Amino acid sequence: MLPRGLPLTRFPTVVQAAILVRRSGYNAGDNRLGAKLTNACLEGAPPMPRQTMNEPLLSHHILPNASTMLGVCLTGIGLVKLAEVHLGPSHVDEYLAIDAVCFMVSCMCSYASIRRNGRGQNMRSRLEQIADYFFMIGLVAMTFISVLFAYEFV
């Protein structure tokens, strides 16, 4: 595809990119320039490991959200304690404390997964999976507790 003497690299220079564009038959209305250029640049390159976009970033999303939800649980416990003085005793604060434990486990597993970045891929993905499960359990539990509290079942 490239003229002799012009080596094909993974990251072409501007001149190489221009030659690739010209030889690929690019038209002004063609929106596939990036795909053609990428395919031409990676031609002959070693295959890259296939990863989904969400895979390496899952722990980076779980950790801040789980810690925020942990703070929401702790705030809810404090507000329920203040409301118990006027409304009478309830068990919502105890349920929110159990929910906070779910978010804390999620935070710890997510943090451990981020710290293992690069070594022990199997353990890293397992920690990520555990963090994800506990995060989802915590969200469902918080929703359930909120509904019970709103309708004064607990």
pLDDT per residue over 6-49, tens digit each? 555 555 565 566 665 566 665 655 556 555 555 655 555 555 44
Domain that holds residue 1: 1-48
Contact 154, 90 (CB under 8 A): yes
Say if residue 39 is in the same domain as residue 64. no
Check whether residue 18 and residue 71 sit in a common domain. no
My answer on whether 84 and 18 are in the same domain is no
Is residue 35 located within the same domain as residue 85?
no
pLDDT at 48: 47
Total tally of structural domains belonging to the chain: 2
Considering the domain architecture, whether residues 92 and 19 belong to the same structural domain is answered as no
**Which residue is listed with tokens 């990251």?**
11
In angstroms, the CA 149 to CA 119 distance is 44
Per residue in 51-71, pLDDT (tens digit) is 454 455 789 999 999 999 999
8 Å CB contact between 91 and 154: yes
E-strand ranges in the chain read none
Residue 70 sits in the same domain as residue 142: yes
Secondary structure (3-state) at 51: coil
